[in-house]
Amino acid sequence: MMTTSATNSTTATNSKATVNSAVPEAPLTEKATSAAHQAVDTLSSKAAAAELNIRKGASTSAETLSEKQKLAQDKITEYSGKTRKLASENPLATAGIAFAAGMLVTALIRRK
């Protein structure tokens, strides 16, 4: 029974020593906290810069896409006008080409 009391006493003493040893570590905790805050601030500023670059890139891409879309629409309008003119000048050739294209599409569909 004496051994148990001595063990409990030693455990209580070690427990107090552990609690007391935590007090001197407060400056270390403050340094770690400060370093963590600084890391988060740095990461935040880098993320903001990356977001700005992505937004600029997206805006530039949207403008470029809009220009390409307009250019494609202009080409479609130009070529459809030329096609209509050719079809009205050569109706027999147009009918022959349409027939051949229909036969080709039908053959490809049946092949599957």
Q: What is the pLDDT of residues 37-77, one digit of tens each?
A: 999 999 999 999 999 999 999 889 989 999 999 999 999 99
How much is the pTM? 0.41
8 A C-beta contact, residue 81 and residue 89: no
Residue that wins the pLDDT comparison between 33 and 3: 33
The reported pLDDT for the residue numbered 26 is 75
User: What DSSP letter does each residue of 68-99 carry, written as one string?
Assistant: HHHHHHHHHHHHHHHHHHHHHH-HHHHHHHHH
Report the alpha-carbon distance of residue 70 to residue 64 in Å, rounded: 10
The reported pLDDT for the residue numbered 104 is 96
8 A C-beta contact, residue 83 and residue 76: no
Residue 94 burial (C-beta neighbours within 10 Å; 0-12, 13-18, 19+): middle
Query: Closest Cα partner for 79 from 69, 71, 68?
Result: 71
pLDDT confidence of 17, banded at 50, 70, 90?
very low
